Structure 1
Amino acid sequence: MNLIITDQRSKILIKHASALMFIKLHGPPLRQWNPSPYVTTWLRHNHRSADDSRTRVAAPISSDSPDALWQFL
């Protein structure tokens, strides 16, 4: 359980922790798992891929100087 619930996952629900522990105990080793069918299903349901470029680019911060933040005093 300490491998599943860490400082980063301290607010995980019991239901999700239970599912992750089941997979950890009874699932195949990671090197034998093939994620391709799951990725294909994900993309078929109109989800975006990790390298999708359709997201908007953040606007640059309009500042005269990079030190402007420290000149407030």
Structure 2
Amino acid sequence: MNLIITPMRNRLLIERVSTLMFIKLHGPPLTQWDPTGYVTTWLRRHRSAEDKRSRQAAAESRKDPDPLWCFL
């Protein structure tokens, strides 16, 4: 448990610590784990910022600056 809860990771909930401990004890070593399948699935389910289905930001219109900030 001391390998999982460190001073930098001290706000983890019990459920997350339990899951991380299980993976640490029963999971394969990182050198044998291939995340390609998980990454591919995640990428298929999430849109990129350049996706045409994503909402585009409106163009910002330039107005006259506020006189308060003209001295900058």
TM-score (norm 2): 0.63
In the alignment, what sits opposite 1:30? 30
Larger Rg: 2
How large is the RMSD of aligned CA atoms in angstroms?
2.0
CA positional deviation for 1:47:
4.8
Flag as ranges the 4+ runs of structure 1 deviating above 3 A: none
In the alignment, what sits opposite 1:39? 39
SS in 2 for 1:24: helix
Change (3 A) 1:7 1:21: same
In the alignment, what sits opposite 2:5? 5
Letter in 2 for 1:15: E
- Unaligned segments of structure 2, at least 5 residues: 51-72
TM-score (norm 1): 0.63
